[in-house]
Amino acid sequence: MTGPSFILVAPQMGENIGAAARVMANFGLTDLRLVAPRDGWPNPAAETMSAGALPDVVKVTVFDTVEAAIADCGLVIATTARPRGLEKPVMVLAEARARMLATPGRTGILFGAERMGLPNEAVTLSDAILSFPVNSDFASLNLAQAVALAAHGWAEGKAGLPEGFAAPVDAPASKEDLLGMMEHFEDELDRAGFFLPEVKREVMVQNLRNAFTRAGWTEQEVRTFRGAIKALALGRGKHRVKREE
Please tell me the pTM assigned to this model.
0.78
Query: What is the pLDDT at residue 160?
Result: 53
Residue 52 burial (CB count, 10 A): 13
Give me the residue spans of the domains in the chain.
Answer: 5-156, 175-244
Query: What is the pLDDT at residue 164?
Result: 54
Q: How far is CA 240 from the centre of its chain?
A: 39
- The C-alpha atoms of residue 118 and residue 120 are separated, in whole angstroms, by 6
Query: What is the pLDDT at residue 245?
Result: 44
Local confidence pLDDT in tens for the 245 residues of the chain: 479 999 999 999 999 999 999 999 999 999 999 999 999 999 999 999 999 999 999 999 999 999 999 999 999 999 987 766 677 889 999 999 999 988 888 999 999 998 888 998 999 999 999 988 888 888 888 999 999 999 999 988 765 555 555 555 577 888 899 999 999 999 999 988 898 888 889 999 988 988 888 877 888 889 999 999 988 888 766 555 444 44
Side chain identity at residue 178, one-letter code? L
- The C-alpha atoms of residue 24 and residue 21 are separated, in whole angstroms, by 5
Query: What is the pLDDT at residue 29?
Result: 95
Pick 5-156's CATH classification: 3.40.1280.10, 3.40.50.1380, 3.10.20.520, 3.10.20.740: 3.40.1280.10
Query: What is the pLDDT at residue 241?
Result: 43
Minimal CA–CA distance to 67: which of 136, 9, 1, 152? 9
Question: CA–CA distance from 155 to each of 23, 26, 133, 143, 150 (Å)?
Answer: 11, 10, 18, 19, 9
Rg of the chain (C-alpha set):
20
Could you give the residue ranges of the DSSP H alpha helices within the chain?
Answer: 14-26, 44-49, 66-69, 93-101, 120-124, 143-156, 175-191, 201-214, 219-244
Query: What is the pLDDT at residue 243?
Result: 43
Q: Supply the DSSP symbol for 27.
A: T
Minimal CA–CA distance to 4: which of 94, 88, 74? 74
